[in-house]
Chains A and B, each alone.
Chain A
Amino acid sequence: MSDALTRPPQEPAPDAGVRATDEGRTLDALTSQEYRYGFVTDIEADTVAAGLSEEVIRLISAKKDEPEWLLEWRLSAYRHWLTMTEPTWQNVKFPPIDYQAIAYYSAPRPRKQLQSMDEVDPELKRAFEKLGVPLEEQKIFAGVAVDAVFDSVSVATTFKGKLAEMGVIFCSFSDAVKEHPDLVRRYLGSVVPATDNFFAALNSAVFSDGSFCYVPAGVRCPMELSTYFRINAANTGQFERTLIVADKGAYVSYLEGCTAPRRDENQLHAAVVELVALDDAQIKYSTVQNWYPGDKEGKGGIYNFVTKRGKAMDRAKISWTQVETGSAITWKYPSVLLMGDDSVGEFYSVALTNHFQQADTGTKMIHIGKNTRSTIVSKGISAGRGQQTYRGLVRVMPQARHARNYSQCDSLLLGDRCGAHTFPYLEVRNPTAQVEHEASTSKIGEDQLFYCQQRGISPEDAVSMIVNGFCKDVFRELPMEFAVEATKLLGLSLEGSIG
């Protein structure tokens, strides 16, 4: 099964508390759980010296052998970025980022041109094995094609052939630029313009790789596509770019999982994901984000500042599902522009903040076409000193007749030093709209705990059960393999949840 994506590594051996995941698991044991993906792989990397300038951008572009138009696109994004100021409205706190101290490009140095899986760097392969992505045993993936992104360069792509038969293009962004320049040029920046926001502009200027997917008209992608991101080298920011285009009537389900080594410094991750669902197309985008969250004192960890947005044309559907357990700071709003009539947008999210983690996440649903519908289900869990914010926007434009939105955002507080905040913006400009929003914040009910204990369930198991029940609305939207992993991940990330 593809639980490999987020499965704890086979070695080093898991400590006793975690092995007993199913029976007799105690939260105390979980408390002692260290970040399990925190190893560093010693691979010779081709890294550009830290700093950002037009020269660096030209260098990145040259290293990737990019066409002139893309370089121009990067440069114009960079020039625009220089005129922008970093936003300050967010409800997360971090020391100022020095954008000149970041290395904007890091690639495993290729020993030679890769022809087949066997030629992948053994060190690299071992790293992926630790991560639970056994590239050489494709069968294990049980139908999941993986475009593995190691630092910034896509190392190898599995199942490319099988997908090619169906006409599905799934490759690294750099390959797409070389092999399908027309498609890339047509859709790149069409949903998230290079000038969209501070971090999107930065990404547009320096993005190094990412994934590209195109599903032709009428094709139902036969397997779940998956990208696996990992930040390895120190002091590098990861600026990947994902572009998924589902042509008319196409369907694709896409999974994204993330980890990073444990380091004391904070690392910036400013990605851009663009989804284009043409008429009648459907895109399902699932994320399990488990970047390094920093240690118990809040030192280190990833800054996950990502712009994710989809554009849904007539009768198209875009569904975002995210499980956010990692990162020191998560700050993103996967959004849907409901451009076409009868289009549908969905957002399902579980976000967990523990220790000193902070999250300011939510979604934007912009109703532009007629009869558009959107659903938002957001579950936030705050423990330790975690601070969690749901921030969402539902906007119904004047021409969007008969728009329908239902939003629900619930927060669960575990511990008395954490916080949960809700900032939903509802802007309605059309009287035929039906917009509903509900939110609640509470701790685990003592009556619920009592009921479980009275049936012989230990307090720890009861908490774990109740938390899983709390998240169920979201987990059932995940592909099966991910749902199993998400449940485990939640257990791992929860600690000290009983006061």
Chain B
Amino acid sequence: MTGLVAADRLGLEPFLANRVGHEPAWLVAIRREAAARFAERGLPDRHLEDWKYTSLTALGELPLSAPVPDLAGIVVTPARALQAAGLSDWDGPVAVFVSGRLIPDASRLGDLPAGIHVTGLSDRISAPAVADLLKRPLRSDDGLADLIRALAIDGAVVEVADRTVSERPLLLLFLSLPGAGPAAVHLRNLFLFGKQSQVQIAEVHAALTGLDASGEKDARAEGTRAAHLSHQISQFQIDAGAVVTHTVLQREDPGCVYVGRLEAEVGRDASWTSNALSVGAELARWDLHVNLADDGACTILNGLYLEADRQHVDFHTTIDHAHPHTTSRELYKGVLDGSATGVFNGKVLVREGAIKTVAQQTNRNLLLSDAAQINTKPQLEIFADDVKCSHGATIGQLDAAALFYLRSRGLSEDDARRLLLYAFASEVLAFVPEPMSRALSGILLKRLPAQGDFQEVSR
């Protein structure tokens, strides 16, 4: 891609002109620098090793620039937002973002536990901690990251004070407006966890249109071009001793290209657990980058992807064991049906001196149809000797013996398959804390490939 085309596509000058005056000068300078960098290298293509199996051509000629969304006339209630997310029963605190903009009327933030603050990024830029994080270079370094740095004007900022302990999860809903909203949404979410805090965050990314199963299918069958891009980078700063669980469910509409990047800095003896569940979008790309930045830091990454039709999902994880006595554990499982394609690339880097590192990684995949494909690449790079690192990857089908056993107990072929698939998926769900896990398993059950009513089987 030539620089000219890239710059045009960005619609940059009017955008930047618009930002001056709205934002501090340093932020506009970052945007200019990032836009110039993007003009140089454009979107990542398959010549880059990290994009070897994922092509962004689905974005086609989609305008990538992000005009400030015009949300006038869009009325969202908490009930409608939760329904779009598939979590109508949710009664906990919820923050609703439409096209990245926090909608207080749709949110229920009144009953947030003391010590937890949720704001929109554009309202919080002046806070020193937020500004610091925005100035820091991103771990992701490619054309897409440039777009975030150049164009993201909104997103969520979650700040948790030191020693805040809450058992009630905070739910963040990110709703896109296919057809009605901007074609591309670039968000920057910042999460700051104070020392020894213990909190759970859950995110759902969905479309605000009706999401019944039949509609989902039709829309996917029609288009080969993506209708919109949902693009975000979330940065997590986890201070010493904090224990954070973060769960994301991505169930965007079928015309969506979803790019979700999570970058975590985990401090001394702190722990960050990420559960990433990917079921929607035509193309979903996830990058998780965890920096175990001090002694005793720990991370647990779990992922589940259920893909069908022509969906494509790509998980890239990087864990940087930069300090001694750090621990990581990864479990990613996928079910691929139709002509879906999946990619898993799990990189574990153990730096020189990071002794007593323990790293364990597992990737398991089920291929259910002839046209489904999986490319998996675990990757260990180890520069220290006193470590225990292992990884395993498997690709296969449902166990014929297990199927036979269930059939011999009188289950129909369909039910038997669904039961086994549910069992396969539930290993990951087990890491999601209640009540999120119950809500999620309901959604996932509906997404499992076979037809019919599952919930009965699962009970």
Q: Which A positions have Cβ atoms within 8 angstroms of B? A: 89, 398, 411, 413-443, 499
Contact = CB atoms under 8 A, between A and B. Distances in A.
A441 B370 contact: no
Please give me the 6 A-B residue pairs with the lowest Cβ-Cβ distance, nearest first: A431-B367, A413-B385, A440-B390, A435-B395, A441-B389, A422-B380
B392 A436 contact: yes
Interface in B86-142: none
Identify the interface centre among B375, B380, B385: most chain A CB within 10 Å of its CB. Answer: B385
B373 interface: yes
Given A439-B390, A441-B389, A419 B383 contact: yes
B379 interface: yes
B367 A438 contact: no
A436 B380 contact: no
Given A431-B372, A436-B394, 17 more contacts: A89-B49, A398-B370, A414-B385, A416-B352, A421-B380, A422-B379, A422-B381, A428-B373, A430-B370, A431-B367, A431-B369, A431-B370, A431-B397, A434-B396, A435-B393, A441-B382, A441-B388
Nearest to A414: B385
Interface in B362-384: 365, 367-384
B427 interface: no
A439 B391 contact: yes
Nearest to B342: A428
Interface in B217-266: none
A415 B385 contact: yes
B387 interface: yes
A495 to B, nearest CB: 15
Contact of A439 (B355, B374, B375, B378): B378
Identify the interface centre among A414, A430, A434, A439: most chain B CB within 10 Å of its CB. Answer: A439
The interface residues of chain B, by DSSP majority, are classed as strand
Contacts of B381: 419, 421-422
A430 B375 CA distance: 11
A224 B369 CA distance: 45
Contacts of B391: 422, 437-440
Contacts, number: 113
B385 A443 contact: yes
B453 interface: no
Interface residues of B, number: 36
B70 interface: no
Contacts of B377: 423-426
B352 to A, nearest CB: 7
B434 interface: no
Given A416-B386, A430-B370, A442-B387, A435 B380 contact: no
Identify the interface centre among A415, A423, A428: most chain B CB within 10 Å of its CB. Answer: A428
A438 B392 contact: yes
B130 to A, nearest CB: 37
Nearest to A413: B385
Contacts of A435: 393-396
Contacts of A423: 377, 379
A421 B382 contact: yes
A416 B350 CA distance: 12
12 contacts: A413-B384, A416-B352, A420-B382, A421-B382, A424-B377, A424-B379, A426-B375, A426-B377, A435-B396, A437-B378, A437-B394, A439-B392
A420 B379 CA distance: 11
Contacts of A438: 390-392
A421 B379 CA distance: 7
Contacts of A426: 374-377, 393, 395
